[in-house]
Amino acid sequence: MTRFAAPIAEQIWDMKYRFKAADGTPKDVTVEDTWRRIARDLAQVENDPKLWEDRFFAALEDFKYLPAGRITAGAGTARRVTLFNCFVMGTIPDSMAGIFDMLKEAALTMQQGGGIGYDFSTIRPKGADVLGVSADASGPLSFMDVWDAMCRTIMSAGSRRGAMMATMRCDHPDVEDFITAKSDAARLRMFNMSVLITDPFMDAVKADGPWDLVFGDRVYRTVQARDLWNKIMQATYDYAEPGVIFIDRINAANNLSYCETIAATNPCGEQPLPPYGACLLGSINLARLVSDPFGDAARLDEAALNDLVAVAVRMMDNVVDVSQFPLEAQAREAQAKRRIGLGVTGLADALLMLGLRYGSDAAAAQTESWLKAIARASYLASVDLAREKGAFPLFDADAYLASGTMKNMDDDVREAIREHGIRNALLTSIAPTGTISLYAGNVSSGIEPVFAYAYTRKVLQKDGSRTEEEVVDYAVQMWRDLKGDAPLPDYFVNAQTLAPLDHVKMQAAAQKWVDSSISKTINCPEDISFDAFKSVYMEAWDSGCKGCTTYRPNDVTGSVLTVSETTDTAPGEAPAQVQGVDETGEVVYMSEPLDRPEQLEGNTYKIKWPDSEHAIYITINDLVVGGHRRPFEVFINSKNMEHFAWTVALTRMISAVFRRGGDVSFVVEELKAVFDPRGGAWMQGRYIPSILAGIGGVIEQHMIATGFIAGEGMGLKSDPQAKVVGLDAPRGKACSSCGQYDLRMVEGCMTCGSCGYSKCG
């Protein structure tokens, strides 16, 4: 019998987490092998490794505790990868040499797959004097473009990359340009962006007072605080960015405020970190801990929860000692403070099993109670570890207990910390869990409401035919198993039908007992008024949240999932008013790579790049699948030996993507978006930003000529607005991992419902 609750769970395991040899041969034969591999690796630092290996295995078994993806994929593989999910890099010096030193560090960190955060407030504003060179500064946005290009390069090299977070203070002179940067669809696509909002700024907003934009000791200009706030709100309303981080509140509540200052977060915002700070993540699967689900005696087993939390904290503490780090500074920072981020997933499913409507006062109170229980258990487990292994090196009892978070902690926990110390400076965080939630049987993600109760996923076979499978939420499937054809009760709500302020209520309830922060998306309807939208952010501020991220579907941000308006529901399905239906419905995923026949039909094209002695020749061969031509392989050649390495690499990479199958037109988007900092060239009446962009244009024209796509893209970095011939998949932005059009905003990250890829790594 398989341990997987749904076919998609096993597919996610096989694609993302199953340990395989270089030739693709599985080393993890079963998911039990994966759990054993993780347990053995994290137990190696214990005095009794076998004892703790078995206890760690028991925690992992049946998906009760879910380490973050990098731990699940990397632990015990002997690969030189970091098991940490997120990093904030060093403070960027306001000098050219210092800036590019930081760029190198970012590249090394991203090469190992870590998501990184940077505060760009330390770079002087555009137009400021640059002493000694008689020039004006180009400003932080120009250097963010360089970081963006670096991230694209790392990604194009085939590495699993992390996302990037850029922050800027609300008093930086370039903050208005920062706010509107994402209005250009061709810019800063590798970044999530958030404005660091201070307490004085919020006071000025409420008072409609003036606000100085400063750098160093100079006031560059003065604006009205409310006008600046409205600019942030308008950009977020239109483009879903920037997010808002209440940075003074974060620093005031930080357990380590006595020895660090935070100015940035990881890409999803749940980990505010100091310079070179690193954090690892893991989640307790609450949906697995409910006894008598949907019954009169339904409850969460708190004794089992406490035991599971204690084991999880020990496992995560061991990761600090087992993991590789991209930089020595990150290793030193992690060892000095030993911060971890234990959170939850399956919260919404667990609430449903208890008969509670997500967003109700009762659900918020239950959420607060569960998160307090987890916080208590985490802190007491870390105290026990301190007794056994010692407190974190920078522990200072008086200063630690005087921090904002610890002031609210129960007296018995405070006294235990005072007497014995604590092993981990910070312990709790609510992380994005989109992929690991699918892996655990499609439980609800993090503290989010259920996104969709069911949708149809279509799998494209090699012969062009398609098979269908239903992807059902874990709690909904349990309801069906227990209740048969009985309709879902009216307390079943999803992210699309929930009022925005109900989202805020749940985030605030969870935040009270989370010592780091929370990754959460507040879904807003497309027709929400601007004033109502702004009130969501003000309510987040007033209710004690550390930040706020919203998502309003529109023509710019896109929209995948909507609420069905049909009145016909089959027995056992949700009523029409709560049934989440993916209108795209046609989630297409290639089950295995395409085979190469003996002969293929193709065309060869020539590019003569200005100032280059030799032309580049591009041969594209096509395969017929389901009666339609599709690109299968590419060969790029040039007599210019300076081009040899990258043309061979590009040939192999693009061909590998084409042979995977599915809709691969996103390759055109990625190539056309590459710019050469030395400048592009005019060819046939249009500006081409790089040789790679020219190759992308050739591939696009070939796809149009063969009927794979119907027309040219509508602009740099946007997918061609056409349908794939032979498929009814909708357009919009394609997943950069599998090429399918099933991207949705989950916990602040664009996430693919087909393959589980997340922009946030």
What amino acid positions are annotated as catalytic residues? 266, 268, 270
- Cα–Cα dist 583/568, whole Å: 15
755 Cα distance to chain centroid:
14
* Residues 374, 385: Cα–Cα separation, whole Å: 16
Cα 708 vs. chain centroid, distance in angstroms?
31
Chain Cα centroid distance, residue 331: 23
Q: In this structure, are residues 375 and 399 in contact, taking their beta carbons and an 8 Å threshold?
A: no
* 469 membership: H or E segment, kind and range: strand 466-472
Between the alpha carbon of residue 521 and those of residues 170, 179, 270, 524, the distances in Å are 22, 19, 12, 9
CA 295 to chain centre: 35
Task: Report the alpha-carbon distance of residue 610 to residue 176 in Å, rounded.
Answer: 38
Q: What is the dihedral of CA 37, 42, 43, 44, to 10 degrees?
A: 90
Q: How far is CA 301 from the centre of its chain?
A: 30
Query: How does strand 522-523 pair with strand 550-551?
Result: parallel
The residues that bridge with 633 in the sheet, in sequence order, are 621
For the chain, the 3-state helix, strand and coil shares in percent, each to the nearest 5, are 40, 20, 40
Measure the CA–CA gap between 349 and 343, rounded to whole angstroms: 15
* SS3 of residue 29 by DSSP: coil
**What is the Cα gyration radius of the chain?**
26
SS3 730: coil
What b/e string do you get for 550-581 counting C-beta neighbours within 10 Å, with b at 16 or more? bbbbeeebbbbbebbeeeeeeeebbeeebbbb
- In a 10 Å sphere around its CB, with 0-12 CB exposed, 13-18 middle and 19+ buried, how is residue 423 labelled? buried
Residues in CB range of 654: below 8 A, 6 or more apart: 634, 667, 699
| Residue 363 C-beta-side C-alpha neighbours within 13 Å | 26
Tracing tokens 């100032």 back to the chain, one arrives at 611
From CA 313, how far away is CA 292, in angstroms rounded?
Answer: 27
Question: Dihedral of CA 728/734/737/739: which sign?
Answer: positive
The first and second tokens of residue 684, run together, are 């046939």
CA 139 remoteness from chain centre: 27
| Rounded Cα distance, 116 and 106, in Å | 7
- Pairing relation of β-strands 86-88 and 65-67? unpaired
